[in-house]
Every structure is written in structure tokens, then in C-alpha cells.
Amino acid sequence: MTITKKVDVVQRLLTDRPAFHLGGGARWDALPGSLRWISEAVSEVSSTVETGVGASTVVFASTGARHTAISPDPAEHQLVRDYCERIGIDHTRVTFVAGLSDDVLPSMLGRDRKVDAAFIDGAHSFPFPEVDWYYISRSLKIGGKLLLDDIPIPAVAPVFRHMCLEPNWRLDGIFDDRTAAFTMLGQPAPEDWGTQPFNSNYPDLSFVRLNRRLRLRAGYWSKRTRREVARRYPGIRSLYKRSS
């Protein structure tokens, strides 16, 4: 049987429930909303990449995109190939890379922005989601799509929050209460931490006890207010210096 409609691939996966992980003993797949997003956002002219391998890789293959899937276990790759062949999906345009994404991505992806769409669903312990995002986002085309899985996991949440705050990203939707889809609207802002919306809560003093935190925060805002007043009203600064 050869599947000709991409939506049929998603439904077939939901029906078959193939297991691609731990030698076929576990299923850690993207949920239906994410799979449908891939099937609709990606086409045969797309250049795509994902960290992690599974049902999403089958859907990427079904689109005909030039796709790269990265995961450390070659057995997962073979299980995906076998399933594709069983249901009639051509996987010859999928490149499987066996390795850890933090080792593979720096040498594989440059800053030339050739990637049309990407799916981050690799290792979920800190800081792997951040590392995957860094290398993938700098290779993504302006107007490119990025799907970020497992945003409820605390190690993934900072990436999601940063993207929601930055003006060069647009949140297009959240699927299955777990996965966020974004479009890159433009080049990232200059690398000045003080102007990043992500850092607008500076200073974050949550690492000190509450009573000391309050004193430190009051001191910070007092100094900041004096600097701002002196900047706006230079005469006050000179008056202060003469009186002291």
C-alpha cells in the first residue's frame, strides 16, 4: 500500500501506534497536533531538521522534504525505516545521524539560514533544549517554522518564554497542551542582555532570603532612580556634588 495523502500518514500512525524507542519497546512520540502541523507546514521543497526520532520522522519523510533526523540510537533509525517501507513511504530523502545533538549540530549547521522548518524534541534535561534551540534557530530561514515540544518541562520552558518575549518570533499555536509552533519574523536583536525582554526582571534575587532580597531590591531601585533623575536633570547632580 502506498500512502499518497499526508494526512493519511498521521491517521495511520495513530492507528498503528508503532514503537520506535528502546528497541521497539517504548513510544515517546509527538502528539497528533504536532504531527498534523508537520504534515501541513512542510513540503517536498523544504529543508528540515529535527532532534529526536520517531513518528514525527515518518511524517517528515512522507512530505518528501530533505530531512535530517538526529538521535543517538541507530536502532531507532532502522525501526523508522522499516515502518516507512511497510506502509509505503519513501524515506530516501531522510538522513539519519547517530549522535548526540550537542555534538552533531555545531558541525552540521552554520549561520547560512537554509533550514525551512525544524522540530526540537531531543534530550529534555537542561541545557540540551537550549543548546538545540541555539544552533537550530541560527540556521533557520527568516519566515521559517520551528516546533518546540514538551514546553511544560522546566528545562524547555525558558526557551519557550524567551521566544514568546522576543519580537522576531511569532507564536502560531500550541498543540496538545504540549508543543508550541513559531515563525521566525526577522533577525534576532543585537546581543545586549540589558535590552532583551527575557532579562526585564533584572535583578532576579530569588537566590537570597526574603528579608535580604527586599533590602537588595530597595537599594537597587534607589540607585537606579537617582541615576535616572541625574540623567534627566543634570543641575540636580551638580547641586548634590556642591553640597557634599
Range from 20-34, 183-197, 229-243 that averages highest in pLDDT: 20-34
The CA-atom distances, in angstroms, between 29 and each of 14, 81, 131, 215 are: 10, 16, 21, 48
Digit-coded pLDDT (tens) for 77-126: 999 999 999 999 999 999 999 999 999 999 999 888 999 999 999 999 99
| Higher-scoring residue by pLDDT: 35, 196 | 35
Q: Which of 147, 132, 114, 126 is nearest to 45 (CA)?
A: 114
| Higher-scoring residue by pLDDT: 70, 221 | 70
Q: What is the pLDDT of residue 201?
A: 84
Cα angle for residues 46, 50, 54 (degrees, 5° grid): 110
CA distance 55 to 84: 10
Q: Given a cut of 80, is residue 150 above it in pLDDT?
A: yes
Q: How confident is the model at residue 4 (pLDDT cuts 50, 70, 90)?
A: very low
Phi then psi for residue 239, to 5 deg, are: -65, -40
- What pTM does this model have? 0.85
Question: 153 and 131 in contact (C-beta within 8 Å)?
Answer: no
Mean pLDDT over each residue of the chain, to the nearest integer: 90
Beta bridge partners of 21: 26
Question: 35 and 61 in contact (C-beta within 8 Å)?
Answer: no
The set of residues, in sequence order, having a beta carbon less than 8 Å from that of 240 and lying 6+ positions away, is 230
* H helix runs in the chain, sequence order: 6-16, 32-41, 55-63, 74-87, 101-108, 128-137, 157-165, 210-232, 234-243
| Higher-scoring residue by pLDDT: 128, 8 | 128
Average pLDDT over residues 152-165: 97
Beta bridge partners of 48: 67, 117
| Higher-scoring residue by pLDDT: 50, 195 | 50
Q: What is the pLDDT of residue 235?
A: 64
Average pLDDT over residues 25-44: 94
Q: Given a cut of 60, is residue 10 above it in pLDDT?
A: yes
CA distance 172 to 134: 20
Question: 48 and 117 in contact (C-beta within 8 Å)?
Answer: yes
| Higher-scoring residue by pLDDT: 129, 215 | 129
Report DSSP state, residue 122: S
